[in-house]
Amino acid sequence: MPHPLITYLQRRDSLSDEEKSVLERMTHRQETIAVRTPIVRQGSRPTQSCVLLQGIAFREHLLRSGKRMISAVHIAGDFLDLNGMLLAKMDHGVRAASNCIVAWIPHGEIIRLSETHPHLGRLLWMTTVTDAALTRAAVSVVGRLPPPAKLAHMACELYLRMSEVGLAKNWSFDLAITQLDLADMFGLSTVHLNRSMQTLRATNAISWDGSRVVIHDWRKLTDIGEFDPTYLNLEPKPR
């Protein structure tokens, strides 16, 4: 399988062979993480960042009241906490939603890279900016879409993102996320999330049982979820 971070970046800009090999070398320190384990802890001060190579992870934020909000889902190829390099202290955590493989990169190495390979540095910058765009989209989804539309929007987003790195094809993909987590992703109760899921299924645009998601009618699904892929920043462009 090709390196998912390289696949991700090449989709958006061209990489020289030198740059590709820098990335390969940079991601050799791999580690396996068990399902539901924290990968980065809220409140910590990390000295390295990591790239997700396999599995599903999500960012979670614990509030003082004990409530939890999940602000992003990550798939192979995503940097999980590159933000952490430029922030002092983690305002949120990252947790494995399935068994995962990550590659750790010390911050110093990334800073050096931004000096020696500025173009690659800008591409890493771009990954954080694209990530921010996903978070902005999450604000609109949480704040303004009716619950079944939230689920539809998420299915559309993940289908496109997973397709990019070869994890989705023929209108279907695997998504190891429980309804409990989905509820915390949209600010809903689990009961209501479950009912919204049933409403969405009843449209016949999609089937979503357990971790198997199959899209039957893309057009209808994007209409329900008011989905506009602009924010995924899928267009190639020199940066």
195 binds, among its own copies, DNA, none (CB under 5 to 8 A by kind): DNA
Q: Which stretch binds DNA (CB under 7 A): 6-14, 17-25, 114-122, 196-204?
A: 196-204
CB closer to its own copies, 12 vs 54: 12
115 binds, among DNA, its own copies, none (CB under 5 to 8 A by kind): its own copies
φ, ψ (nearest 5 deg) of residue 212: -95, 120
48 binds, among its own copies, DNA, none (CB under 5 to 8 A by kind): none
Least spacing, CB of residue 231 vs DNA, in Å: 22
Q: Is 117 in the site for DNA (CB under 7 A)?
A: no
Residue ranges in the chain assigned as alpha helix (H): 4-10, 17-26, 83-86, 107-116, 118-144, 147-164, 179-186, 190-202, 218-224
Residue 198 tokens read as 């049933």
For residue 139, give every residue at least 6 positions away whose Cβ sits within 8 Å of its Cβ, in sequence order, or none.
Answer: none
> 3-class SS at 59?
strand
Contacts (CB under 7 A) with DNA, residues 126-185: 146-147, 178-180
Q: Is 189 exposed, middle or buried (0-12, 13-18, 19+ CB in 10 A)?
A: exposed
How many residues sit in the footprint of DNA (CB under 7 A)? 18
Q: Is 190 in the site for DNA (CB under 7 A)?
A: yes
Least spacing, CB of residue 121 vs DNA, in Å: 39
d(CA 233, CA 211): 26
132 binds, among DNA, its own copies, none (CB under 5 to 8 A by kind): its own copies
d(CA 224, CA 116): 46
What residues line the site for DNA (CB under 7 A)? 146-147, 178-180, 187-192, 194-198, 209-210
